[in-house]
Amino acid sequence: MEKKIIYKLDDDISFRKCSLFETNGTDHGDCTNFHTKDVNWSDHYFCNQEGIHFHCTKHPEIELERADCSDGEVLTCPKCKNQIHIGSTHVLISRCLRALNREIFKDATLVRLDDWYVPELKEKTKPTPDYRLITNVKTDKDGDTIVVLYVTYVGSEDKVQFFIKPEKGQLTTDHKDLDPAKIISKIEVTLKDRKLIQTYGEDQT
Ligand SMILES: [Zn+2]
Ligand SMILES: [Zn+2]
């Protein structure tokens, strides 16, 4: 015989799934509250309380008896006479179904929709890699302009630092910083009278 399971909902109410939970059958099994309907010319049994039956937590083998009262419904254990006022059977069934779902979904995979769909969107609006560029304009000791250009790759802490001196026609990097070859292959600075080009990469000749 199949092992019976009783789920404890709280200190008063426990519940079980009857034979007609999520199904119907040609016999009522352990369901104690059912109706019959003709399906393909034979009687089929359907549970009247969605396959959920309430039991006394102190006496799990005993099914609680339901009665209407002035402010809703009341469940009573025929053995210990414990009376539990419930709003409605329907609300209590929902509570039991939610408790069952916790069991079903406890190891579920969490899909973060923002992670799934945003990258696709980013691809369309931003075809270039995710570089962050920060510029800072200063003057050197000779009074000439220095454009400091920081290049970082999103997600990396390191940065490449370029110093562009338009008057002196210089493009230099700070060796204390990240090797430019790590994140870029070429930088080109167009000045009034010349172009400063630096290329990086292993395949350079
Ligand atoms: Zn039932
Ligand atoms: Zn009881």
DSSP assignments along 139-170, one per residue = E-TTS-EEEEEEEEETT---EEEEEEETTTTE
Cα–ligand 2 centroid distance for 47 (angstroms): 23
pLDDT over 50 (residue 204): no
74, 65 Cβ separation under 8 angstroms? no
Q: Name the amino acid, one letter, at 128.
A: T
Q: Which residue has the higher pLDDT, 205 or 128?
A: 128
Cα–ligand 1 centroid distance for 45 (angstroms): 9
CA distance 177 to 163: 12
Q: What average pLDDT does this structure show over 52-59?
A: 97
Q: Which ligand places an atom closest to the C-alpha of 31?
A: 1
Instruction: Look at strands 186-190 and 7-8 and give their pairing.
Output: unpaired
Q: What average pLDDT does this structure show over 90-101?
A: 94
Give the pLDDT score at 164: 87
Cα–ligand 2 centroid distance for 102 (angstroms): 26
Task: Please provide the average confidence, as pLDDT, over all residues in the chain.
Answer: 84
pLDDT over 70 (residue 197): yes
Sheet holding 159-165, edge to edge: 131-139, 145-153, 159-165, 170-173
Query: Residues with beta carbon < 5 A to ion ligand 1?
Result: 18, 20, 31, 47
Q: What average pLDDT does this structure show over 84-90?
A: 93
For residue range 2-46, list pLDDT tens digits in order.
Answer: 789 999 999 999 999 999 999 988 999 999 999 999 988 889 999
pTM above 0.95, yes or no: no
Give the pLDDT score at 203: 54
Cα–ligand 2 centroid distance for 27 (angstroms): 28
199, 185 Cβ separation under 8 angstroms? yes
Give the pLDDT score at 56: 97
Query: b/e for 22-55, b at 16 or more Cβ within 10 A?
Result: eebeeebeebeebeeeeeeeeebbbbebbbbbbb
183, 131 Cβ separation under 8 angstroms? yes
CA distances 161 to 146, 176, 179, Å, are 12, 9, 9
- Name 17's Cβ contacts closer than 8 Å, sequence gap at least 6: 5, 51, 52, 53, 100
Q: What average pLDDT does this structure show over 138-146?
A: 83
